[in-house]
DNA sequence: TCAATCCGTATGTCCGGACAATGTGACTTC
DNA sequence: GAAGTCACATTGTCCGGACATACGGATTGA
């Protein structure tokens, strides 16, 4: 029986531009990722050893390793000592990131719309103060929004933001998502702690989402942090489970 | 007005053991993490420049950088070019990992218990085959369990596993969690894709969880992958929202 | 035929140095 | 006094090498 020589070492054309301001390791990582995405590097195929790869590209081994490591961190490659580096044979391509409901909907082709119900400054309650790490009763932004898709209510969003971070104009909030506004204001979102649960809708909640009282609702609370660890947003959301569910990817920390 | 000299550079006692098999960068990273956890390194405090730190420890700068980088990846430190490296001033300490319900409960001091309802081999349905990446109608493990805490039903867990990965004995399944069994079998869990939603309980589901028909249920579907990208588990779970909610941390990929 | 051993290979760790890019603060200039 | 300029500090990128460690297959032996 002929052995189906699986996992062959792939020879592909790589090159780097030393005059570019883009770091060399990043150029290499991008090309490798593109090759994986494009299918040139098939799952299970070996990448060829680092030393040889480095000399072929005119790079040093640390630089090549840095490129490979970044893809390993992304979950695209696996290193095996004594074996080599190979492409993960995963069905899942891109791990989901910290997502914005607005972006998710837009990407899915559902024409999202936002109706701003409240947009004002209020004193922080104990709960909000604890979440945002600000003094109790200090002023914070309070935003209440109804998110619609195809004209149908999909979620009720209540958010709190620390003062001074951002100008929040109702018109902008109706035109795009909160995260996009924050990024545009130069805030680098880094991580978020979320709690997802479910409960029966109260009459008021049911009314807002055009559900019936007692209908199941999906609830989410989230505190978002920027790259310095500051809390930049606290939100309490309720979703209609028939219209929305959370989908994401968790990674195990090595 | 006296300037409150914030963000001082901290001098702390670090040392590495060169005879240890533990990598030097890892030793340093552990000590730094412990100092942050312990409060010796307070949020906002500067770490001191890498060169000086390296010479003080008798290490090279790349080694020190590797240690620091691992903590930056964990979200404990922030690097700023021209400024230095400082401790993130975050309330959140440990980002949650891919979690096991059993471990979560045990950690919370709720005496978890498991009742195995089904444990057999079955042909894979189209849905299961797609999730696990195995041929349709090929044999897979099917496990149905009821998870209890303090004797009260908390969740109904239905899982499918590809064949040959693991011996699944009912006694073991009742004594511990599935993830722990998989790890013990040498499987390195890497990532999981989850979908969380909510719906009203059907009469059969209500019966299993001692809820009433129509009560809100939290639902979760998950495919777990090992470090080579193989799907190693597919599960469909339903939780009583009064007893359980999902809490986790999402990271933005740089 | 099967098991233990050896060895090549590839990644893992570590070093010491070099120059570039950037943010901060002090200085100078208007 | 305010704005622009410059030097300094610190991280970012990159190099070329060295040895350790672990995996797999081939060789050897029972």
Lowest mean pLDDT among A163-172, A187-196, B96-105, B132-141: B96-105
Task: Give pLDDT, residue B156.
Answer: 96
Which residue's CA is nearest to the C1' of nucleotide C10?
Answer: A82
SS3 content of chain A, % helix, strand, coil (to 5): 25, 30, 40
Of B236, B235, B240, nearest to B217 (Cα)?
B240
Residue B204's region, left for phi above 0, alpha for psi from -120 to 50, else beta, is: alpha
Distance separating alpha carbons of residues A31 and A67, to the nearest angstrom: 10
Query: Mind spelling out the 3-state secondary structure of B60-104?
Result: CHHHHHHHHHHHHHCCCEEEECCCEEEECCCCCCCCCCCCCHHHH
Q: Which two tokens stand for residue A213?
A: 């009282």
The secondary structure element, H or E, covering residue B37 is helix B24-38
Distance separating alpha carbons of residues A107 and A93, to the nearest angstrom: 17
What is the CA A139 to C1' D12 distance in angstroms? 39
Contact B252 A189 (CB under 8 A): yes
Contact A95 B215 (CB under 8 A): no
Which residues of chain A, if any, have pLDDT below 50?
Answer: 1-5
Angle at which helices A61-73 and A24-38 cross, to 10°: 50
Give backbone dihedrals phi and psi of A60, rounded to 5 degrees, phi first: -90, 165
B197 reaches A (C-beta below 8 A): yes
Contact A199 B191 (CB under 8 A): no
Task: Give pLDDT, residue A46.
Answer: 86
Q: Quick one: DSSP state of residue B207?
A: H
The vertex-B112 CA angle with B111 and B116, nearest 5°, equals 145
pLDDT digits (tens, 9 = 90+) for A122-167: 999 999 999 998 999 999 999 999 999 888 999 999 999 998 777 7
Contact B95 A191 (CB under 8 A): yes
What is the CA B137 to C1' C1 distance in angstroms? 37
Task: Give pLDDT, residue B201.
Answer: 96
- What's the pTM? 0.81
What is the CA A52 to C1' D13 distance in angstroms? 21
Measure A203 CA to nearest chain B CA, in Å.
15
Interface residues for strand D (CB within 7 Å) are A 23-26, 58-63, 66, 80-83; B 21, 47-52, 61-62, 65, 79-85
Distance separating alpha carbons of residues B43 and B45, to the nearest angstrom: 6
Find how far residue B26's CA is from the centre of its chain.
20
Residues 138 through 177 of chain A touching chain B, CB cutoff 8 Å: none
Chain C nucleotides covered by protein, CB below 7 Å: 8-18, 21-24
What is the CA B97 to C1' C13 distance in angstroms? 27
Task: Give pLDDT, residue B30.
Answer: 94
Q: With 70 as the cut, is the pLDDT of residue B2 above it? A: no
Q: With 50 as the cut, is the pLDDT of residue B239 above it? A: yes
Selecting from A195, A229, A250 the residue whose C-beta is nearest the C-beta of B98 gives A250
| DSSP state string for A33-46 | HHHHHHTSS-TT-B
Which residue's CA is nearest to the C1' of nucleotide C15?
Answer: B60
Best of B69, B229, B239 to mutate (most A CBs within 10 Å, chain A): B229
> CA end-to-end span of chain B, whole Å?
40
Task: Give pLDDT, residue A223.
Answer: 92
Selecting from A43, A98, A198 the residue whose C-beta is nearest the C-beta of B229 gives A43
Selecting from B43, B88, B249 the residue whose C-beta is nearest the C-beta of A193 gives B249
Lowest mean pLDDT among B68-77, B96-105, B177-186: B96-105
Distance separating alpha carbons of residues A219 and A195, to the nearest angstrom: 8
Judge whether B78 and B88 are in contact, CB under 8 Å: yes
Distance separating alpha carbons of residues A101 and A224, to the nearest angstrom: 14
What is the CA B1 to C1' D5 distance in angstroms? 30
């Amino acid at each position: 029986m002929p052995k189906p020589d699986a996992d062959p070492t792939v020879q592909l054309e790589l090159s780097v531009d030393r005059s570019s301001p883009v770091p060399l390791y990043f150029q290499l990582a991008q090309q490798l990722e593109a090759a994986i995405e494009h299918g040139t590097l098939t799952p299970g195929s070996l990448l060829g050893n680092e030393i040889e790869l480095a000399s072929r590209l005119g790079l040093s081994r640390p630089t090549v390793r840095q490129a490979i490591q970044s893809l390993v961190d992304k979950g695209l490659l696996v290193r095996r000592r004594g074996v080599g580096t190979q492409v993960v044979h995963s069905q899942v391509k891109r791990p989901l990131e910290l997502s914005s409901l607005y972006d998710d909907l837009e990407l899915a082709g559902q024409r999202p719309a936002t109706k701003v119900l409240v947009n004002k400054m209020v004193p922080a309650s104990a709960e909000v103060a604890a979440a945002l790490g600000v003094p109790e009763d200090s002023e914070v932004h309070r935003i209440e929004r109804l998110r619609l898709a195809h004209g149908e209510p999909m979620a009720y969003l209540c958010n709190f933001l620390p003062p001074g971070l951002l100008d929040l104009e109702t018109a902008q909030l109706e035109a795009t998502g909160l995260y996009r506004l924050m990024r545009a204001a130069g805030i680098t979102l880094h991580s978020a702690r979320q709690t997802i649960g479910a409960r029966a809708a109260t009459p008021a909640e049911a009314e807002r989402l055009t559900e019936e009282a007692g209908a199941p609702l999906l609830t989410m609370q989230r505190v978002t942090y920027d790259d310095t660890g500051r809390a930049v947003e606290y939100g309490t959301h309720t979703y209609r489970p028939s219209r929305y569910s959370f989908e994401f990817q968790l990674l195990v920390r090595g």
